[in-house]
Structure 1
Amino acid sequence: MRVRCTKIVHPQADLPVAEYDGIRVGGIYTVLEIEVLADSEVQIRVLGEDSEEPGLFWDVADFDVLDAGMPACWALVLDNRGLSLAPALWQRPGFWTDYYRRDPRALADFETVKRELLDDSAL
């Protein structure tokens, strides 16, 4: 799934900006994950250029969908927080906690799937 950024609202200042955390207006990005929260807010995780982080969540309304194809590695999880479409390896309980604690398995799972998603979207 690929999207083009149409608008960025700075998370702390709540003001429009041209670029933030490697994401720029007009840039095209691979969607790593989609979340639909219990309040019906829809967010997408995209990876910014040269970003050290695993990508930030952004309001889907600030992006145009260029390619709506769903990656084969995604799995659907529905829980009390809402709905998540993300790589199955990232859906295991505690994955993000392990990732931020620099657990080697979580870091390897993240990198493996990230490469797969970026390679697939480049085709």
Structure 2
Amino acid sequence: MIVAKEKNGIHNSATWIPLEQELVVLSIQVHPAQGIFYILWSDYQESVAMFSANDFSIVDNRLSNRWVLSMTEDGGMILSPSAWLENDFWNNYHEEDPVANEIFQREFELMVKEWDGMDLPSSNRKQPPVD
């Protein structure tokens, strides 16, 4: 799935993603009380982060072949690579665990490769930096 940033939301996403940049959606999270969120890579911050879907328009609505559906305890859902749904994956990734980083990079690369040949900014085709 490809989205383009249309506006800067309440979390000051301007310091994370420039307006009109098209990005590969890495995961979608739906939280009944908070709304819909996209997990995206930010070149500005050299990090992955969650952004409100309200700030983006959908450029291509095809879903990643890497995604599986997981239901949450609060009645929400997550579309994500299955490896990212494992217990403590995101905590381990943000704590710079080398195994979690390798899993993230592998899934990131596979999802971006699904869009090879599309006219996307080059920032969407590079891997996140390895620490």
Question: Normalization by structure 2: what TM-score?
Answer: 0.80
Aligned to 2:26: 32
**What secondary structure does 2:63 align onto?**
coil
Aligned to 1:100: 94
The amino acid across from 2:108 in the alignment is K
- Classify 1:118/1:51 alpha carbon distance in 2 versus 1 (closer, same or farther; 3 Å): farther
**What secondary structure does 1:26 align onto?**
coil
User: Shift of the alpha carbon at 1:43?
Assistant: 0.6
User: Shift of the alpha carbon at 1:77?
Assistant: 0.8
**What secondary structure does 2:112 align onto?**
helix
Structure number having the greater strand percentage: 1
CA distance in structure 1 between the aligned counterparts of 2:32 and 2:53, rounded to whole angstroms: 15
Unmatched 5+ stretches in structure 1? none
Aligned to 1:70: 63
**What secondary structure does 1:112 align onto?**
helix
**What secondary structure does 2:114 align onto?**
helix
CA distance in structure 2 between the aligned counterparts of 1:105 and 1:48, rounded to whole angstroms: 21
Aligned to 1:89: 83
User: Shift of the alpha carbon at 1:91?
Assistant: 0.8
The amino acid across from 1:99 in the alignment is Y
Query: Could you tell me the percent identity over the aligned residues?
Result: 22
CA distance in structure 1 between the aligned counterparts of 2:32 and 2:44, rounded to whole angstroms: 31
User: Shift of the alpha carbon at 1:36?
Assistant: 0.4
**What secondary structure does 2:58 align onto?**
strand
User: Shift of the alpha carbon at 1:65?
Assistant: 0.6
Unmatched 5+ stretches in structure 2? 118-131
**What secondary structure does 1:99 align onto?**
helix
Aligned to 1:121: 115
Question: Normalization by structure 1: what TM-score?
Answer: 0.84
CA distance in structure 2 between the aligned counterparts of 1:9 and 1:114, rounded to whole angstroms: 25
CA distance in structure 2 between the aligned counterparts of 1:69 and 1:77, rounded to whole angstroms: 18
